[in-house]
Amino acid sequence: MPAVPHRLAPDEPENDGREGRMGFLEHLDELRTRIIRSCIAIGVGMLAAFAFVDRLADIVLTPIVGTLPPGSSLVFIRPGEAFSFYLNVAFIGGMLLAAPFVMYQVWGFIAPGLYANEKKFLIPFVVLTSAGSLSGALFSQYLLFPGLMKFYGAFNSPRMRFMPGVEETVELYMKMMIGMIVVFQIPTVVFFLAKMRLLTARFLWRHFKYAILIIFIVAAVLTPDGSPWNQTVVAAPMIGLYLLSIGLAWIVAPKRGQETSNGSDSTRLRLAFAATVIDQAARRHRTRSFTDGVRRTSIDIINSSRLP
C-alpha cells in the first residue's frame, strides 16, 4: 500500500520557494532605497540628455510642425516657457536612458516576494510591456497626436491664425504619449491575469458595454476640448485593444478537456489518499473480519481511481 503523504507539523517551517521574509519597516526601507536610486538615475540621465537636447526637441516638434498650416508656427509668450519645454524634453530623454536601471530596481524590490515558479514570467513580462510601451509611443507620435493637431489646424483662416503655444502643445503631447503607453499595456495585463485564471474572456465580453463607457470617460480626460470627434479618435484604439484582450484571454484560457483531465487527476489523488487512510485505520482494528472488509473496500477505491 502507498504510504501516507507527509504533513508538516505546525511548527515545521515550509519552504515555499521564496528567498526570505522581511518585516514591514524593512520593506519600507527597501522601497525608499530603490526609489532614491531610481530618482538619482533619472537625474543623471536628464543631465546626459541635455547634451543632445536639440535633437530630442526636433523629434518632438517634427510631427507638430509638419501638421501646422502655412504661415503658422509654435510661439512662446512667457519668458520661461521655452526653457520649460527643453526641461521637459530632457526629462523624457532621462526617463528613456534610466528605464533599464529603474526596471531593475523594480524587479529587485518585488523578486524576493515571488515564488520560484512565478519568476519565470519575468522575461515575457518585460518583453510584452516593452513592446506595448513602444507601440503606444509610436502610435501617439506618428498617428494620434499629428491627427489631433491637423484637426485643430483645419480651423485656420484669415480671420483666425492658428499659432499654438509651446507650453499647451507640449502638455498635450506628453498627455497623449503617457496615456497611449498606459493604454497599450491592457493586452499584457489581461494576458497575465488570464494566465493565472483571474480573468476570462467571457467576463470581458459580458462587461463590454461598461468597458465602452469607461473608455470614453478616459478619452474625454485625455482630449483637451472633449469634443465627440476627438473622443472617438482617442477611444478607437482603446476599443480595439480591449477586443484584442478578449481574444488573448480566450486563447490563454485552458480548454474543457484539460480542465476535465486535471479535475479527474485531482479526484483520483483524493480517492487514493482516502483509501490509504482507511487501510491504515483498519490495520489498527482488532477484528479481522472488519479489517478484511475495509481493506477490500480500500483496494476497490484505489482500483477505481486508476481507471482512465
What pLDDT is recorded for position 107?
Answer: 81
Looking at residue 257, its amino acid is G
| 88 CB neighbour count, 10 Å cutoff | 19
Q: How confident is the chain (308 residues) per 10-residue block, as mean pLDDT? A: 45 47 78 93 93 88 80 81 88 87 84 76 80 88 86 82 84 86 88 83 91 90 76 87 90 64 50 57 53 58 53
C-alpha cell at 88: 521637459
Helix (H) or strand (E) holding 303: helix 288-305
Q: Say whether 287 sits in a helix, a strand or coil.
A: coil
Q: Where are the domains of the chain?
A: 23-184, 186-253, 257-305
pTM: 0.66
C-alpha 283: how far from chain center: 55
What pLDDT is recorded for position 213?
Answer: 92
What pLDDT is recorded for position 11?
Answer: 44
What pLDDT is recorded for position 48?
Answer: 93
DSSP 165: B
What pLDDT is recorded for position 289?
Answer: 53
Name the packing angle between helices 166-183 and 81-110 (round to 10°).
Answer: 20
What pLDDT is recorded for position 282?
Answer: 55
C-alpha span between 259 and 32 (Å, rounded): 43
